[in-house]
Amino acid sequence: MKNDILTLAIQKSGRLSEGSVSLLKKCGISIQNGRSHLKARANGFPLELIFLRDDDIPQYVEDGVAAAGILGLNEVMEKKRNVSIVKKLGFSRCRLSVAVPKDVDYTGSEFLSNKRIATSYPEILKSYLEDRGLNAEIHPISGSVEVTPGLGLADAIFEIVSSGGTLLSNGLKEVETVLKSEAVLIARPELPEETGKLLEQLLFRIEAVQRAANNKYILLNAPSEKLDDIVSLIPGIKSPTIMPLAEKGWYSLHSVISEQDFWEVIDNLRESGAEGILVVPIEKMVG
């Protein structure tokens, strides 16, 4: 692992890979020679990418082949390697859930006692069962787990669920959510000083992109007699920017609001007399 360049392992294909490359692009980092090779150098940052299977990434990071990696939290929890979760990234969200045939009367987790459960995540399932004092037969499967109950190989499954469409098509229903997963940035617990600085710089860019995605920039016009009321409604980072308009008695306010509070804030602003409300996406948000 070179100290003057950050080596980052990402999934070589699939939704998680697309999300990882998209995030890097928003951070001003592009890939030179695409993803047709095992390795690729990046433009815009001292970064080398390694393209791997997602379930191999924790070991490569633990062994020092890569300083950091982007993969699903589910794989980090399953592999139990000596790596640190540096940042949750907010994309490729899914959940690990228990599902049973749709005609089964599921009464709670105790239903799983002495049942056969097929899964691609035996370690997470084992921990879940042990925490509840349940004994069950865990059948690790690396293929289409959803078909096993229909074939008589299992009484239930424990698998990744996104939309739930695959479960429905196989006559299954989701009954327990065990883990909510998303893409995460992981790293070795102890990195050389220069490599650690590069990781901090990358993290700084990622956080700027995340802040931008979670906030909106708003501009609005307000009459002077309503100014104090409207300012009190804007939960900005600091106080909003206020500038007088050419029309006497009117002001323009500029601020940033959270995506989570967006519609409630906009409705309150309109009711308080704000006009000409303009909402603009933020590309980057630093500090």
Decide if 247 is inside a domain. yes
For tokens 């309150």, name the residue.
268
Whether 287 is covered by a domain: the verdict is no
286 in any annotated domain:
no
At 239 the pLDDT is 77
The distance of Cα 124 from the centroid of its chain, to the nearest Å, equals 19
Is the model's pLDDT at 2 over the cut of 90? Answer: no
Same domain, 69 and 200: yes
Q: In this structure, are 104 and 166 located in the same domain?
A: yes
The first and second tokens of residue 79, run together, are 């592999």
Co-location of 265 and 243 in the same domain: yes
Q: Please indicate, yes or no, whether residues 156 and 115 belong to a single structural domain of this protein.
A: yes
161: amino acid identity, one letter: V
Within-domain flag for 40: yes
> What is the model's pLDDT at position 214?
85
Regarding whether 49 and 76 lie in a shared domain, the answer is yes
pTM, to two decimals: 0.84
Is 215 exposed, middle or buried, given 0-12, 13-18 or 19+ CB atoms closer than 10 A?
Answer: buried
Residue 1 inside a domain? The answer is no
Instruction: Dig out the tokens for 230 from the structure.
Output: 């409207």
Spatial CA neighbour of 56 closest among 75, 82, 40, 83:
75
Q: DSSP H helical segments within the chain, as ranges?
A: 15-26, 57-62, 73-79, 122-131, 165-169, 193-213, 227-233, 262-271
Residue-level pLDDT at 263: 86
| Whether residue 170 sits in one domain with residue 206 | no
- 206 and 239 co-located in one domain: no
Which of 212, 234, 262 is the C-terminal boundary of a domain? 212
Whether 160 and 267 map to the same domain: the answer is no
Average pLDDT of the segment spanning 69-93: 96
Final residue in a domain of this structure, among 190, 212, 234 = 212
User: How are strands ordered across the β-sheet holding 275-281?
Assistant: 241-244, 250-258, 215-223, 275-281
- pLDDT tens-digit series, residues 171-183: 999 999 999 999 9
Q: Which residues contact 125 (CB under 8 A, 6 or more apart)?
A: 117, 119, 138, 158, 178
pLDDT over 90 at 232, yes or no: no
Q: What is the number of domains present in the chain?
A: 3
Q: How far apart are CA 130 and CA 141, in angstroms?
A: 20
**Same domain (yes/no): 77, 189:** yes
| Residues 104, 176 within the same domain | yes
Residue whose structure tokens are 């229909």: 150
CATH number at residue 228: 3.30.70.120
Does 208 lie in the same domain as 69?
A: yes
Range of the domain at 269: 215-281
The 10s digit of each residue's pLDDT in 233-252 is 886 666 788 999 999 999 99
Query: Do 51 and 188 lie in a common domain?
Result: yes
Residue 195 belongs to domain with CATH number: 3.40.190.10
Question: What pLDDT is attached to residue 219?
Answer: 92
